[in-house]
Structure 1
Amino acid sequence: MERRLMARTSTDRTDQKPHTPFLSRPGVRRLMPFVLITAIALVFIFQNSASTEIRLLIPEVTMPLWGALLIAWGLGILACAFTVRRRRHTRRPGA
């Protein structure tokens, strides 16, 4: 009797959620454009390896262009993260 019960419960999947393909999940679909744009941006950044002069308010710094682009990209990601986080917290349930 125990074997019948175990066999029936292991094959009975009516109480489980249906399997959603990985690329069809909402979280993955929202993340895909970010991953694609990030990959393109990183390829662009690391292809630019020449040195350049950059003025940081008062001092002038000579550094590889990829370093400056990487810093700008990182600051952009941080700004986006703070904006999305702030927007998510300021929404009201009834609005």
Structure 2
Amino acid sequence: MARSSRTDHQQPHTPFLSRPGVRRLAPFVLVTAVAMVFIFENREDVKIRLLVPEVTMPLWGALLIAWGLGVLASVIMLRRHRDRHPPRQK
């Protein structure tokens, strides 16, 4: 008897761009790429006041820190949302 390459317990092939994980990650990758171009095009030094001290640093560094804090806040909020609202049962 000839063996088929696909067994009964395997799911059919899903195209890469149709997978839910890729569809959720694609906007993040696009926004990150645009943000990185914007961040690294701004290279002049700026004075930044951090409550009391005033520091001079490259603008790209300040923008990169702000972007990183935004990503961190998003990850924390997504985890809190996922913990409070478990996935529905089908």
TM-score, normalization: structure 2? 0.89
1:37-90 deviation per Cα after TM superposition (whole angstroms, max 9, x unaligned): 000001100000000000000000000000000000000000000000001001
What is aligned with 1:83? 77
> Could you tell me the percent identity over the aligned residues?
67
Alignment root-mean-square deviation, CA: 1.6
Residue number in structure 2 paired with 1:28: 22
Indicate the structure (1 or 2) with the bigger Cα radius of gyration. 1
The 3-state SS of whatever aligns with 2:14 is coil
- Gaps of at least 5 residues in structure 1 are none
Q: Closer, same or farther in 2 for the Cα pair 1:62/1:93, shift >3 Å?
A: closer
Residues 34-73 of structure 1 aligned to structure 2 (within 5 Å): 34-73=28-67
Higher helix share: 1
Q: Using the alignment, how far apart are the partners of 1:70 and 1:12 within structure 2?
A: 48
Most deviating of 11-20 and 72-81: 11-20
